[in-house]
Homo-oligomer: A and B are copies of this chain.
């Protein structure tokens, strides 16, 4: 039985207990959220040694890191190193998007080595396999697609992205939309090409029950992909995007009825003043399913800094309803991320998640800031470093910038505001420096 089916029966599973403990919540509340479909607990029965982490309403905002091989960088050991870096930087999830080298092996090893949930996009594998056999991607059969899905689920993927909402109706809308960038989702672009070439409906939509059967067997959470997500802020929140979202909302209902956990993916590129509306409309159209957003980035002009553009959008998104942020690294729009990019991307997304969690009233969020503020007031540098979101970087920078032992810090030197004011207000500073 899936976590959802058990929750609906009133059962609190071990995974629910552990996930609830992590959040400082009563297991009963977590179970009730899962039963309503407002929370998912992606946990494939074949993924051993995975920490149960839940995503959704009332929980801390989660962060995902995308990793995986490509044609240009097929080496698996590099990606395993990225997995390690992402997890130690605090990612709650990784997605294996491998398309280069031995991708079966890559997926299996990433799942084996990941202590956090792993997501995949099975359609990529179907495309790569077709290309290897000299087949045109549009000649793939529905069975080929489902075979890839089944393989990923069997291998232990905790959630899979499936672009079920790219349908003929949506493509018709797109054709006449005047979008600047049409489609930027790889899965979305493939399915569009497939539908147009074969003049048939999307098999992932048409045979959705087949997908549900597979997902249910392994308790894989469906992550309904947004193939029509805007690729630039100019295209945001248009009819193509919202038509797809309406279709996804229908599939959310069908998933829940089948006892399959489900979340919904979202944009992408969204100007500041449309982010909240995007979060609200996902919740209404998709019946409060957890919302998993990529970024969103709030401007298109900052390649090299898209961890920042997405931290801005991610903060607003998370504070207005997004439950799960897919990281964006500084390398986005330029190439595949390095190890350092992976770390920067995870930390930037965690900052966004945390800034939102503070105002969402998530357990422990505000308290973390308060502890840091007290350490600052006490000039307790050791504690400030310990409490930093990235202690390694904070420590390194502090050391690099403060070469004289006796200095509190080089920012103000002897004109330290804390010291000056504490003396005259008669406050005690606990630390020393």
Contact residues of A with B, CB < 8 Å?
A: 70-73, 99-100, 124, 127, 131, 137-138, 174-175, 180-186, 188-190, 192-193, 196-197, 231-235, 271-273, 298-305, 307-309, 311-312, 315-316, 319, 330-336, 338, 347-348, 351-352, 354-356, 358-359, 366, 368-370, 372-374, 376-377, 384, 387-390, 393-394, 397-398, 400-404, 407, 409-415, 417-418, 420-425, 427
Select A192's contact among B175, B189, B404, B424, beta carbons within 8 Å: B424
A331 touching B232, Cβ below 8 Å: no
Given contacts A272-B356, A407-B72, contact A348 B193 (CB under 8 A): no
Q: A231-B373, A299-B351, A311-B312 are in contact. List 8 more A-B contacts (CB 8 A).
A: A138-B424, A183-B417, A232-B369, A232-B370, A302-B347, A303-B397, A308-B308, A334-B397
In whole Å, how far is A322's beta carbon from the nearest beta carbon of chain B? Answer: 13
Given contacts A234-B370, A319-B273, A425-B192, contact A305 B389 (CB under 8 A): yes
Return 20 A-B CB contacts under 8 Å, by A number.
A99-B415, A180-B370, A181-B418, A186-B415, A193-B421, A197-B424, A232-B376, A271-B355, A298-B358, A301-B389, A303-B394, A303-B397, A305-B351, A308-B348, A308-B351, A312-B315, A331-B397, A335-B401, A335-B402, A335-B409
Cβ contacts under 8 Å, A374 to chain B: 180
In the bound assembly, the distance between CA atoms of A351 and B72 in angstroms comes to: 31
Cβ contacts under 8 Å, A422 to chain B: 182
Q: Which residue of B lies closest to A195 (CB)?
A: B424
Copies in the complex: 2
Cβ contacts under 8 Å, A188 to chain B: 417, 421
Q: Which residue of B lies closest to A413 (CB)?
A: B71
B335 touching A410, Cβ below 8 Å: yes
Given contacts A335-B409, A412-B186, A417-B183, contact A388 B311 (CB under 8 A): no
